[in-house]
Structure 1
Amino acid sequence: MLPWGYKSVMSAQMFEGKDHAAIYQKHRFPPPQELLNIIFSYLEEKKGKPYDLVVDVGCGSGQSTQVLVPYFARVLGTDISEAQIQQAKQTPSPSQVSYCVCPAEALPVEDGSVDLLTAFTAAHWFDIPPFMRELERVLKPGGCVSLSSYTPKMRIHYGHCSEELTEIFREIQAVLNKYAHEKLHVLLSEYQEIFDLMPFPDKKRIIFQGSEISFTVAGLMGFLQSFSMFQTFKNAQPEAAEALLQQTQSRFLETMKVSSLETPLAITLEYICVLACKTPKEKVTS
């Protein structure tokens, strides 16, 4: 039985397969420290401690949930994909962490119980109007929400061929864009729709450039395979998807003038973050 009267699937289900969940767990990375600093600075300003319950919605295989552990007495990660939650549960976690399969629009928590609700690289998949109603229900007065993601604006860094590698990656993105889910328009608009529909007047949207993330060539190819649009392409045309992957890998190695897939490189990403605070109820005075 699904919680809170949930009747139909609302969120887009793009990360359901076990193989995709395994790739996601291996090659996706946690939110960067500079994003966490922005979130917790906002939370400290708006609400302050104590921090009891955080809910990480669309948590995938748990990378974004684990980074919240040091700050909260209770940490709940939720995702609509059972395969993703199974991956998350396989990672050793402290006792205050739990995971649950459920829709973003129907969370298994009490009214007014959540200090912070987060969604990292996930909110664009939600059915946004009912999710906003759920936000109003679950947040404590003074509780905060952070909906964030990196955008497709990605740069590759390696020696003197960074621009060439970045252009190769953009070409691959252009091919995969033909297989993009319609909900990705929310991401491409840099969460403007999410910001506009946020029901709390105390809100802001931040766009910033993240610091470098270390990869290998093999790791970058794995990251590429974790994209929903690559998986859609692979399901439709498995041989063509594999050929594209091998071609991309070869182009990277040739451009870098190396032979090892373990050759290190780095990427930088642009991030967006929508922050909001649920207005505390004014005290009634006699």
Structure 2
Amino acid sequence: MTTQLFEGKEHASLYQKYRLPPPDEVQKLILSYLEAKKQRPFSLAVDVGCGTGQSTRALAPHFEKMVGTDISKAQIEEAKQSSSASNISYCVSPAEELPFEDSSVDLVTAAAAAHWFNIEKFLKEVDRILKPSGCMALYCYQACMEVHYKDCASKLTAIFTECYNSLAIYTSKNTEIVYSEYEAIFNAIPYTDKKRITQMVHKFQMPVADLIGLVKSFSMFQTFLQIDPEAAKKLLQKTEQRFLEVMGVTSNETIVEIWAKHFCVLACKPL
């Protein structure tokens, strides 16, 4: 079964507020791949492990119906509370037991989620529900990112990397596959029509406070928080303070630019 993390309401709220949206380039990559295999209109897309629905909402305009699924009830409840288009719905479901009919889905996606699935069972389920020439898109980003502000990028990135490395001991085994940019998942896909795109660097602007919030949403930070709440909170407080000192500012609402490496696995079910 899917690994069950991100279950708490507070963690779901952090997800909704701070998690990175799917970059436009990744969305275009997925849609262009799908369009090369199938003709519009596209009837149904399923976003598995949708969390609070950022990726679900981003792709919804291109489909007659978009369904986000997640094993976490708290995440789904948070997703439902966000404003959504009329063609979007959500349901609680494990990634390996999806509530869709055989050969009924045009596109299956998973954003920063596939590493939590039982891949063998998930891929069998995807094969069951995809239409012939239906596509799968699994994408994610490396959590250790570059932080840019004026001429301070090297120092800020070093501070962020130090914080990240402090959390590394709390990393789940599931996330190890992220470091290799889903190579093992790519190799496990039985289809011959598949590709893996790596090293896509995308830039996001956010306040320092939101960058700290993003770190709070990481599963490894949440594990640290459960084990030693005071030490976990002090780590983030110290990291934020060091950011502001290096930047020469006092407000944590000061905007920084984040450079994140994204990668994407695409595959098409044969006719």
Pairwise TM-score range, normalised by the shorter structure: over 0.9
CA distance in 2, matches of 1:154, 1:23: 19
Map of 2:126 onto structure 1: 135
Match of 2:136 among 140, 145, 153: 145
Shift of 1:48: 2.3
User: Superposed, which structure 2 residues align to 1:254-269 within 5 Å?
Assistant: 254-269=245-260
Structure 1 residue 277 corresponds to structure 2 residue 268: yes
Map of 1:90 onto structure 2: 81
Shift of 1:211: 2.8
CA distance in 1, matches of 2:144, 2:138: 18
CA distance in 1, matches of 2:125, 2:196: 20
User: Superposed, which structure 2 residues align to 1:65-144 within 5 Å?
Assistant: 65-144=56-135
Check whether the contact 2:113–2:140 (CA below 8 A) recurs between aligned residues: yes
Shift of 1:199: 1.6
Q: What is the count of residue pairs matched by the alignment?
A: 271
Deviations 1:237-263 (A, max 9, x none): 000001101100100010101000100
CA distance in 2, matches of 1:90, 1:58: 17
Map of 1:7 onto structure 2: none
CA distance in 2, matches of 1:266, 1:85: 29
Check whether the contact 1:136–1:199 (CA below 8 A) recurs between aligned residues: no
User: Superposed, which structure 2 residues align to 1:1-286 within 5 Å?
Assistant: 10-280=1-271
Shift of 1:153: 4.2
**Runs of 4+ with >6 A deviation:** none
Check whether the contact 1:32–1:210 (CA below 8 A) recurs between aligned residues: no
Check whether the contact 2:202–2:259 (CA below 8 A) recurs between aligned residues: yes
Secondary structure, in 3 states, of the residue corresponding to 2:39?
coil
Deviations 1:177-202 (A, max 9, x none): 10001101111111011001012111
Structure 2 segments unaligned to the other structure (5+ residues): none
Deviations 1:95-122 (A, max 9, x none): 2110000100000010000000000100
TM (norm. structure 1) is 0.93
Check whether the contact 1:209–1:268 (CA below 8 A) recurs between aligned residues: no
CA distance in 2, matches of 1:90, 1:123: 24
Secondary structure, in 3 states, of the residue corresponding to 2:252?
coil
CA distance in 2, matches of 1:226, 1:152: 11
Secondary structure, in 3 states, of the residue corresponding to 1:159?
coil
Supply the RMSD in Å over aligned alpha carbons. Answer: 0.8
Deviations 1:8-29 (A, max 9, x none): xx11112101110011111112
Structure 1 segments unaligned to the other structure (5+ residues): 1-9, 281-286
Q: What fraction of aligned residue pairs are identical, expressed as a percent?
A: 52
Secondary structure, in 3 states, of the residue corresponding to 1:61?
coil
